[in-house]
């Protein structure tokens, strides 16, 4: 990888696409994302399932029972963050979690309200709703975020006991565990073109397109040093507007990033061994 090759920031309407996981127990994981997270099953066969909301696929699950469990030193997924369109939808998610699973945490991040949990194989999940952008606190370098307790009693009062996530649900961001913030910055900011929105020294970096609080979170909190080789995150997608895609592909070529072209996108590998799919939106 060479140095800064950015032709400018990514287009404002860049977004995160579907996340793909390798799992040991497809039935258990599918049931969890369907019944607790509230996604709808779009397709299913013996070793693969796709779930989503509305007309969009958000999650792929591939059965790989022979793959080892993710090692303690492997980079990969910190959490997949499902963005719901309203506080009511978040309250309904809380009701499903408290009825069928276990809540790991709940936070007010100033820009959003978030619930945290894990799937049956330990893959992290965030379900969150954004506050209005006009209310987001901002600094000279980006968006200010914090971690404060979320008032769960107040949130519960907004629930309607809906069993499914709303059709407008998306993957709002992915949060990754990486081996180096410096290398991650060079890749996700200097090469891909995300903008840094908030930095916590050399321990975490949050990057985004279009002034969003973050599309990708990156941290080294658990001291991960090795590329992923077991179960867990298989890949995630970044969706780039079609009109900007060829410029983006040229940027990757000039940065000496190896690409594999397939259908309407390219697949690349980040410095941590994490597979990233760049798709035309």
Q: What is the CATH number of the domain that holds 170?
A: 3.10.180.10
Residue 279 lies in a domain: no
Residue 47 lies in a domain: yes
Residue 262 lies in a domain: yes
Collapsing DSSP to helix, strand or coil, 85 comes out as coil
Give me the mean pLDDT over the 137-143 stretch. Answer: 87
| Half-sphere exposure of residue 81: CA atoms within 13 angstroms, side-chain side | 22
Q: Does position 3 have pLDDT exceeding 50, yes or no?
A: no
Specify the pLDDT at position 37. Answer: 98
Q: Does position 158 have pLDDT exceeding 80, yes or no?
A: yes
Residue 278 lies in a domain: no
What is the total count of domains within the chain? 1
Helices then strands, each counted (H, E), the chain: 5, 17
- Can you read off the two tokens belonging to residue 85? 């369109």
Give every strand in the sheet of 40-44, ordered side by side.
40-44, 48-53, 56-63, 15-23, 232-240, 275-280, 265-269, 260-262
- Please give the residue range of the domain that contains residue 95: 15-273
Residue 104 lies in a domain: yes
Q: Does position 212 have pLDDT exceeding 70, yes or no?
A: yes
Instruction: Report the range of poorest mean pLDDT among 3-17, 94-108, 262-276.
Output: 3-17
Cβ-based neighbour number of residue 27 at 10 Å? 13
Give me the mean pLDDT over the 137-159 stretch. Answer: 93
Are 169 and 96 in contact by the 8 Å Cβ rule? The answer is no
Q: What is the pTM of this model?
A: 0.96
Specify the pLDDT at position 262. Answer: 79
Specify the pLDDT at position 8. Answer: 66
More confident residue, 270 or 248: 270
- Can you read off the two tokens belonging to residue 4? 């800064």
Q: What is the mean pLDDT of the chain?
A: 94
Give me the mean pLDDT over the 245-257 stretch. Answer: 88
Instruction: Report the range of poorest mean pLDDT among 17-26, 60-69, 122-131, 238-247.
Output: 238-247
- Can you read off the two tokens belonging to residue 227? 């590329």
Residue 4 lies in a domain: no
Q: What does residue 187 show for φ and ψ, rounded to 5 degrees?
A: -80, -55
Give me the mean pLDDT over the 153-171 stretch. Answer: 95
Residue 3 lies in a domain: no
Specify the pLDDT at position 5. Answer: 41
Of the pLDDT bands very low, low, confident and very high (cuts 50, 70, 90), residue 264 is confident
Q: Does position 2 have pLDDT exceeding 50, yes or no?
A: no
């Amino acid at each position: 990888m060479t140095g800064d090759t950015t032709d400018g920031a990514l287009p404002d309407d860049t977004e995160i696409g579907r996340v793909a996981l390798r799992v040991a127990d497809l039935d258990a994981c599918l049931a969890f994302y369907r019944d607790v997270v509230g996604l709808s099953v779009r397709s299913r066969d013996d070793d693969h399932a796709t779930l989503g909301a509305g007309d969009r696929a958000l999650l792929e699950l591939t059965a790989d029972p022979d793959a080892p469990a993710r090692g303690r030193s492997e980079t990969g997924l910190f959490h997949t963050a499902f963005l719901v369109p309203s506080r009511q939808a978040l309250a309904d998610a809380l009701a499903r979690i408290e009825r069928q699973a276990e809540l790991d945490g709940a936070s007010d991040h100033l820009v959003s309200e978030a619930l945290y949990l894990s799937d049956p194989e330990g893959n992290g999940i965030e379900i969150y709703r954004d506050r209005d952008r006009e209310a987001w606190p901002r600094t000279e370098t980006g968006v200010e975020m914090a971690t404060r307790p979320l008032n769960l009693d107040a949130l519960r009062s907004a629930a309607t006991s809906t069993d499914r996530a709303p059709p407008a649900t998306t993957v709002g961001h992915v949060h990754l565990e990486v081996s180096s913030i410096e290398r991650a910055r060079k890749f996700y900011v200097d090469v891909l073109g995300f903008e840094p929105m908030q930095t916590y020294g050399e321990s975490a970096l949050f990057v985004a397109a279009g002034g969003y609080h973050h599309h990708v979170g990156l941290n080294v909190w658990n001291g991960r040093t090795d590329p992923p080789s077991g179960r867990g995150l298989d890949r995630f997608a970044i969706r780039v507007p079609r009109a900007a895609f060829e410029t983006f592909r040229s940027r990757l070529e000039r940065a000496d990033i190896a690409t594999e072209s397939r259908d309407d996108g390219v697949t690349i590998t980040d410095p941590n061994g994490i597979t990233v799919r760049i798709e035309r939106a």
